[in-house]
């Protein structure tokens, strides 16, 4: 998320937690995923402070130094979206294109989410 994100009419709940400003396709995919996720698992708690709402430099540092803690601090729908994205990337042979910290978590089986896995 941008440190000083402009509020627009097109803004969605997903925009509060993950910056997709430069990728319309990703924006639409994440918002659709969030809507489906929340229908099944309940609404995202807007009162919590998530790692994706920290300043960008702090996020980058945390992702590079403590990827598991960064991932665990994301909203549940973002965790689920990232895990599904990693699974798809792996199936399509594009896992190397993903952030190193997320690859490590995915390969080691540590990409577990808070409450949405059965």
Residue 7: inside a domain: no
Residue 6: inside a domain: no
Residue 89: inside a domain: yes
Each residue of 42-93: pLDDT tens digit? 999 988 999 988 998 999 999 999 999 999 999 999 999 999 999 999 999 9
Residue 118 has what pLDDT? Answer: 42
Q: What is the mean pLDDT of residues 24-34?
A: 89
Residue 74 has what pLDDT? Answer: 92
Residue 87: inside a domain: yes
Domain hosting residue 31, numbered range: 13-107
Q: Label residue 9 by pLDDT band (50, 70, 90).
A: low
Between CA 78 and CA 72 the distance in angstroms is 10
Residue 3: inside a domain: no
Mean pLDDT across the chain, nearest whole number?
Answer: 85
Residue 92: inside a domain: yes
| Domains identified in the chain, total number | 1
Radius of gyration, CA atoms only, the chain: 14
- HSE-up of 116 (CA within 13 Å, CB side)? 25
Residue 68: inside a domain: yes
């Amino acid at each position: 998320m941008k440190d000083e994100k402009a509020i627009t009419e097109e803004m969605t709940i997903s925009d509060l937690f993950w910056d997709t400003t430069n990728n319309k396709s990703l924006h639409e995919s994440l918002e659709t995923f969030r809507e489906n996720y929340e229908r099944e698992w309940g609404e995202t708690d807007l009162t919590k402070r998530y790692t994706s709402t920290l300043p960008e430099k702090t996020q980058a540092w945390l992702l590079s130094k403590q990827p598991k803690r960064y991932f665990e601090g994301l909203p549940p729908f973002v965790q689920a979206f990232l895990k599904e994205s990693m699974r798809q990337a792996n199936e399509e042979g594009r896992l190397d294109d993903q952030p190193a910290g997320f690859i490590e978590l995915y390969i080691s089986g540590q990409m577990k989410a808070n409450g949405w896995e059965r």
